[in-house]
Amino acid sequence: MRLAIASGKGGTGKTTLAVNLALKASGTMKTVLADLDVEEPNGSIFIGGETVDEKQVYRYTPAWNQKSCSLCGKCTSWCAYNALIKLGEIILVMPNLCHSCYACSELCPDGALPMEASPLGTIRHFSRGKLDFTESKLNIGLEQAAPLIKQSLNYLDENFKDHDLQILDSPPGTACSMMEAVRSADYVILVTEPTPFGLHDLKLAVETVRQLELPFAVVINRDGIGNDELDRYLKAEEIAVWARIPHQREIAELYSRGEILFDKVAAVDDALSDILQRLEGLS
């Protein structure tokens, strides 16, 4: 079972839910949690644990070979991302714009654009008790998160195929990186909060998972703030609410210190039990 935890809006409690659910689940089943918020991963703050494995991840971008280049300039017209520019007698490659499609490299009549590996980020595998945890971190200054997310999912397939539960902590938003993170999931939990911002961004996330034809449910965090617009929407759309985590200052304080919640806050433990029971009902 692969479960993605996502939300349109940032800061609704994706990581909080993901780390607590993963740790609790690991008590009864083989569980792996993957932090796929590769631009700003925070799961390790809460999980810590011992490093089991660390892997550099690379991507391939063209490198210009001046000696063999006849300066025909065709590569610059092929590249859909404007990652190649001809400046006088120089072909300038801008790796940040490159999507590693290989078109320029393989079509170049002179073979003057061999693909070379450049670092993309790291994947670290930690273990805490029975829980396996992977954290993927994009190198700062790189623009594209999706390729690292893709490689992280491959890493999960290679190393944790037999785990009962794989939990994916997704990046915020509804753009390509969020899509990449959730699309391979069997089920999606959307975390939201009962404010107009939370609702507005939830609607976008719902539209996204519906387009992907993925089954999903909602968990309401900070229940008690805002207004009842969210509940009315969920009812009208017949969207299942799996749990509500109450708005409590104590939770915010524990979160701020990077602490696990479910062993300290009964309401969180109850919410997680409800979610695990629902998950069991699916399989």
Q: Which residue from 166, 207, 235, 230 is spatially nearest to 5, judged by alpha carbons?
A: 166
Dist. CA 31–CA 11, nearest whole Å:
24
Position 204 contacts another protein (CB under 8 A): yes
- Which residues between 47 and 86 bind another protein (CB under 8 A)? 78, 80-81
Cβ closest to another protein, residue 179 vs residue 279: 179
∠ CA 33-37-41 to the nearest 5 degrees? 80
Position 99 contacts another protein (CB under 8 A): yes
Position 211 contacts another protein (CB under 8 A): yes
Position 141 contacts another protein (CB under 8 A): yes
Binds another protein by CB under 8 A, chosen from 52, 252, 263, 273: 252
Of the CA atoms within 13 Å of residue 71, those in its CB half-sphere come to 7
Tokens 């993957």 identify what position?
A: 34
Segment interacting with another protein (CB under 8 A) among 25-33, 133-141, 159-167, 265-273 = 133-141
Q: Which residue from 15, 3, 35, 23 is spatially nearest to 283, judged by alpha carbons?
A: 3
Binds another protein by CB under 8 A, chosen from 67, 87, 88, 140: 140
Dist. CA 261–CA 251, nearest whole Å:
7
Q: What is the separation of C-alpha 72 from the centre of its chain, rounded to a whole number of angstroms?
A: 41
Using CB under 8 A as the criterion, which residues of the chain lie in contact with another protein when the complex forms? 8-12, 15, 39-40, 42, 45, 78, 80-81, 99-103, 106-107, 138, 140-145, 171-179, 183, 193, 195-197, 200-201, 204, 207-208, 211-212, 222, 225-227, 249, 252-253, 255-258
